[in-house]
Chains A and B, each alone.
Chain A
Amino acid sequence: MENTTAVGKPRVNQKKLQIFLLDHVIEIFLAVLIIYLTIRMDSFMTWSNWMNILRSNSLKGVIALGMTMVIIAGMIDLSIGSTVALAGVIVARSCRDFTAGGMDLNTACVIGILISFAVAILIGWLHGTFQHRMGMPAFIVTLVTLNALYGLAGIVSGGYPIANQFPQWFNQLGMGRVGGQNGVPIPAIVLIISFLVILFIMNYTTTGRSVYAVGGNPESARLSGINVGKTKIIAFVAVQIFAVISGFMNSGQVMAGSFSFGRGWELDVISAVVIGGSSMSGGIGTVWGTLIGIIFMGVITNGMTLLNFDIYTQYVVRGIIMFLAVLISSYRAKVKA
């Protein structure tokens, strides 16, 4: 008996250690990467570089936080890039057309913002309803809206970018900084606030627990008296709202709305969530993991740029990282079982 415990104990600890390492592999990898880049280049570990990383990754990062809810609910939303474009052109067109009718520019802009949010809620509701009620795969439903909303953004904008219609403060959404010229970019602050909001929802509310339950096993959740349809709709609406906010910041940065904005963003957004450890089959994932995933993607891109990797090599490297992340999470599921 004593022999078996003597042999058995370390094995248990070893497995625990293995699981701990697998759970935090991205954090560890990120730390190693940061240390390497810091030693390798003086320009990396500087305030301005970090603020740069934050600013350029916050726009997709904000959406990735919303996407975390959708993916943990066992769903997916491919349409967010089109929503980014649509939000920009709606506000741009509101600013242009309503002021042409004699309205104050700020009011016109705010009306555009409100319309965008209403559209976001409607789209999210449609996604959730069609997926849940009709049993259509989320992949297909949102692939449809990816195309339809892209077209809609083109229609709203008349096929051309709408530039220089926004009030000056709209520019601040994308380009502004808090604390002077070297301060924290506003998109980074939006990212942090969004992170805290989603973190709270997912970990401290009944909504968050329902999202986990629905993603983990929709049938068990339903038979436990959890409103599965409502939960999915909340997740779909959340990601759309974050896409709209991101769209405002994006259009604010360039002071224009265009239907071509946001093209292909869905893949980067989903990558960040998956690298952060969320499972595409639902029920598993953390908001913290997604934040790490966003920073990881940002640091690696920044590092490769500083090291003068060409853009094509960067794509290959990012592909490999995505592959490794999924490989690790599949392996982790095996080890735990």
Chain B
Amino acid sequence: MSALQIRTEHITKDYPGTRALDDISVTFDSGKVHALVGKNGSGKSTLVKIFSGAIKPTAGDFFLNDEKLHFNSTSDSYDKGIVTVYQEMSLVPFLSVAENIFLGRLPKKNHAIDWRTTYQMAGELLQKMKVDIDPREKVYRLSMWQSQVVEITKSLSFNPKVILLDEPTSALAQHEVQSLFEAVRALRDQGVVVLYITHKLQELPQIADTVTVLRDGKLVGSVPMRDVEHKDIINMMFGEIKTRNRPNDIQMQDDVIMEVKGLRREGWYQDVNFKLQRGEVLGIAGMLGSGRTELLRGIFGADPVDGGEVVIEGKTYRKANPIKMKDAGVGLTPENRKTEGLILIHSISDNLCYASLNLTANGWVENKRKRHAFAQKQVDELEIKIPTLVAPCESLSGGNQQKVVVGNWLNNSPKIMLYDEPSRGIDVSAKQQIFEIMWAQARKGVSSIFVSTELEELLEVCHRILIMRHGRIVDDVKPEEVNINELYEICMRGDN
């Protein structure tokens, strides 16, 4: 196959208020795996969306070989041979591998599906990928990496020139990653331009031939992988950034309010031990899949645990559940506020008072006036912008919805708040307000555990940060003692 290349010239993409991509000129050749890295919001997914035809650039052009590309929709990019494999699976679990690969365009003979040809063609494609998967196997029986490979094989069936792999390993276990890499290399050797989007830097030396780094919408550099080291990439990703610090008056107290002892859940986290002091804001840092969210849910009893205990103010909880934990004074704002934190079709006032259901009632009988007062109090204190208290929660912006989730728990007068990714998908000022709320609670003696993908947030907000790797707490740092690059380095260390 002749050499191919996809190239951008001065691509810029503006969104209201922000510039997502700023004058990007970069070239990706065939026969290589090109890693595209950058922290959240760096613009890497915007670039992918432009290649896949999901959005159009504000300015600049991009080319496949020397042909200038104009995409009005994602099907246009398919026609040109640019295929995106997204991280969320789009396979139909109860159909066979072959059927999934040729879904919607199964080969036919005399108006009936020609199964023999279907299986044969699928088998050939899978062979090209150098994997041993039976085309007749149902997809739900496959392991995660095999499904991911089938997904890639499906895109290969379109005879692509460029394949964009968006975080293909994010759902895979460690040993599965190697098998997937084999398939990606096979793909590269077919003469396809492979763009590999990832946040797992430890994978780069194994799989990438070049690495392209974006930061705040700008191209920082595009270099051969052999020329750079791990810490060079981290420096390229983060640059020099100043972190704001939490106000000085937020001092934690000396007494321990909660102790986690030997908590474990098979396959997610093992032997977790730490202490939480009164008024402390404790961060948990770690890569995606390190078990942060699962640990938080385990402490709250939202998911079952396999062993260990949580001691709160001297009382031991072994098999916790949200009801017991609520009584113990613990609250959780879940990772996904829309599906786990709120009842979107119900009113703001109702959503602010579900956790405190028993506090707004006199025994069994509801006191509507009290409930209204509880709801109004949180609206005032958290400065939630609402049309009226009876408006449905779905009418609010992300930031205000998040405040409702927090307010729901604050109405229950918690002693310990567990925040799982509270800043996800909300704008900068709302983020800052959420942090202000955490600090205000800390001043009142409420302790917090704060899980976030954004390491700079942890540095900004917390007294202390626990580092989680592969389900274990491996380190414990103070924000004063590390900078963002070091923190990132610690989170990644020991991988492979």
A204 and B366 contacting across the interface, CB-CB below 8 Å? yes
Does chain A have a CB within 8 A of B334? yes
Q: B325 touching A213 by the CB < 8 A rule?
A: no
Contact of B342 among A208, A220, A225, A227 (CB under 8 A): A220
Report how far A132 CA is from B178 CA in the complex, Å: 40
A204 vs chain B, min Cβ distance (A):
5
- Chain B min CB distance to A200 (Å): 9
Complex contact A283–B354 (CB within 8 A): no
CB neighbours of A316 from chain B (8 A)? none
Residue of B nearest to A208 (CB): B366
Please give, as numbers and ranges, the residues of chain B lying within 8 Å of A208 by CB-CB distance.
Answer: 366
| A223 and B344 contacting across the interface, CB-CB below 8 Å | no
Q: Contact residue range for chain B?
A: 20 to 34
The digit string for A190-230, where 1 denotes a CB below 8 A from any CB of B, is 00000000000001111111101100110111111111000
Total of A-B residue pairs, C-beta within 8 Å:
77
Q: Do B345 and A284 touch (CB < 8 A)?
A: yes
Q: How far is the CA of A223 from the CA of B343 in the complex (A)?
A: 11
B325 to chain A, nearest CB (A): 7
The answer to whether B350 and A212 have CB atoms under 8 Å apart is yes
CB-CB < 8 A to B346: which residues of A?
212-213, 216, 283
Interface contact A224-B354, CB-CB below 8 Å: yes
Partner of B323, one of A225, A284, A336, A337: A225
Report A78 CB to chain B, min CB distance, Å.
25
CA distance in complex: A226, B412 (Å) = 13
Q: Are B332 and A221 in contact (CB under 8 A)?
A: no
Q: How far is the CB of B485 from chain A (nearest CB, A)?
A: 35
Would A209 and B350 be within 8 Å (CB), given that A220-B342, A283-B345 are in contact? yes
Neighbouring A residues of B322 by C-beta, 8 Å: 222-225
Query: Is A225 touching B355 in the complex (CB atoms < 8 A)?
Result: yes
Q: Which residue in A207, A216, A227, A336 is a CB contact (below 8 Å) of B343?
A: A216
Q: How far is the CA of A205 from the CA of B354 in the complex (A)?
A: 13
Question: Scoring B residues 330 to 369 as 1 if CB is less than 8 Å from chain A, else 0, what string do you get?
Answer: 0010100001111111100010001101100100111010
Task: Decide if B392 touches A336 in the complex (CB within 8 Å).
Answer: yes
Min C-beta distance of B98 to chain A, whole Å: 31
A224 touching B364 in the complex, CB below 8 Å, given contacts A213-B354, A217-B343, A219-B340: no
Q: Are B366 and A206 in contact (CB under 8 A)?
A: yes
Residues of B within 8 A of A225 (CB): 322-323, 325-327, 355, 412
In the complex the two chains form, what is the Cα distance from A204 to B358 in whole Å? 12
0/1 interface trace, chain B 123-166, chain A, CB 8 Å (1 if under): 00000000000000000000000000000000000000000000
**Pair B343/A210 contact, Cβ less than 8 Å:** no
Q: Is the CB of A227 within 8 A of B364?
A: no
Q: Which residues of A contact B302 (CB under 8 A)?
A: 222-223
B358 pairs with A217, CB closer than 8 A: no
A219 and B357: CB pair below 8 A? no
CB distance from B33 to the nearest CB of A (A): 39
Q: Which residues of A contact B340 (CB under 8 A)?
A: 219-220, 223
A220 engages B343 (CB within 8 Å): yes
Q: Which of A299-337 contact B (CB under 8 A)?
A: 336-337
B394: interface (CB < 8 Å): yes
**Which residue in chain A gives the minimum CB-CB distance to B334?**
A223
C-alpha spacing A227/B327, complex, angstroms:
13
Output the least CB separation between A47 and chain B (Å).
36
| Nearest opposing residue in chain B for A279, CB measure | B345
Q: Which residue of B lies closest to A281 (CB)?
A: B345
Give the residues from 386 to 413 in chain B that come closer than 8 angstroms, CB to CB, to chain A: 392, 394, 408, 412
Indicate which residue in B341, B345, B358, B412 contacts A223 across the interface (CB closer than 8 Å).
Answer: B341
- For residue B392, which residues in chain A have a CB less than 8 angstroms away from its CB? 336
Smallest CB separation, B326 vs chain A (Å): 3
Give the docked Cα–Cα distance between A145 and B357 (Å): 33
Q: Which residues of B contact A224 (CB under 8 A)?
A: 322, 326, 354-355, 357, 408
B357 is contacted by which of A210, A216, A217 (Cβ under 8 Å)? Answer: A210
Inter-chain CA distance A220–B353, complex, in Å, is 12
A206 adjacent to B341 (CB under 8 Å): no
Q: Which of B345, B346, B355, B361 has the most CB of A within 10 A?
A: B345
In the complex, chain B residues whose CB is within 8 Å of the CB of A206: 357-358, 361, 364, 366
Chain B 373-386 interface 0/1 with A at a Cβ cutoff of 8 Å (1 = within): 00000000000000
Q: Tell me which residues across on chain A come within 8 A of B300, comparing CB atoms.
A: 223
A220 to B365, CA, bound (A): 22
Query: A237-274, CB under 8 A of B: which get 1 and which 0?
Result: 00000000000000000000000000000000000000
| B339 to A, closest residue via Cβ | A219
Q: Cβ of A226 and Cβ of B334 under 8 Å apart? A: no
Known: A212-B350, A223-B334, A283-B345. A217 touches B339 (CB 8 A): yes
- Which residues of A in the span 48-93 have a Cβ within 8 Å of any Cβ on B? none
**Contact residues in B for A203 (Cβ distance below 8 Å):** 366
- What are the residues of chain A within 8 A of B408 when measuring CB–CB? 224
Q: How far is the CA of A221 from the CA of B361 in the complex (A)?
A: 17
Which residue of B has the minimal Cβ distance to A200? B365
* 22 A–B contacts from the bound complex (CB under 8 Å): A204-B365, A204-B366, A204-B368, A209-B366, A213-B343, A213-B346, A213-B350, A213-B354, A216-B343, A216-B345, A219-B339, A220-B340, A220-B343, A221-B354, A222-B302, A223-B332, A223-B340, A224-B322, A224-B408, A225-B326, A284-B345, A337-B394
> 9 tightest CB-CB pairs across the interface, nearest first?
A225-B326, A216-B343, A224-B354, A217-B343, A224-B355, A225-B322, A206-B361, A204-B366, A225-B323
Instruction: Please name 17 further chain A to chain B contacts, defined as beta carbons within 8 Å, in addition to the given A206-B364, A224-B408, sorted by A numbering.
Output: A203-B366, A204-B365, A204-B368, A205-B361, A205-B366, A209-B350, A209-B366, A216-B346, A217-B342, A219-B339, A220-B342, A221-B343, A221-B354, A222-B302, A224-B326, A224-B354, A283-B343
